[in-house]
Amino acid sequence: MSETKAAQRKITAPTPTPDTIEFWKAAEQGKLMLRRCSACQKTHWYPRPVCPHCFGDATEWFEAAGTGEIYTFSIMRRVPEPYAIAYVTLAEGPTMLTNIVGVDLNTIRIGQKVKLAWTPTEAGPPVPCFTLAD
């Protein structure tokens, strides 16, 4: 199979909300922030002030390691610029929907280790994507 490189697609800038503004500010500094519940100690993604596990309202931000493992993925080939979307289980526990970037799309496999790769957007903060770890 011939190499299919993940294209550097244009990504629309996110629209921060009051619940996510701190996340996007940290993203501009290259920091991946997650929230952890002070009551049940579980980490969650997508950032929100109320814990989705126990519904506690005492959550706090912390910086994530930026590493994880591919849980599942799909390669979009019937588009002008092929790309891969994936669910990545972060080292801290939650699973996030993201893109796999900067690799031959044919080499992506479930269970592969990945690391954070910030991807620029059009006139906004970068978004967290992942690339294969060395």
Instruction: Give the CATH number, domain containing residue 84.
Output: 2.40.50.840
> Within a domain: residue 127?
yes
Number of folded domains that form the chain:
1
- Residue 26 in any domain: the answer is yes
User: CA 120 to CA 117: how far, in whole Å?
Assistant: 10
Residue 25: which H helix or E strand, with range?
A: helix 21-28
- Residue 28 structural domain: 21-132
Per-residue pLDDT of the chain (134 residues; tens, 9 = 90+): 566 666 567 788 889 999 999 999 999 999 999 999 999 999 999 999 999 999 999 999 999 999 999 999 999 999 888 999 999 999 999 999 999 999 999 999 999 999 999 999 988 899 999 999 97
Q: Is residue 4, in this structure, part of any structural domain at all?
A: no
Residue 108 lies in a domain: yes
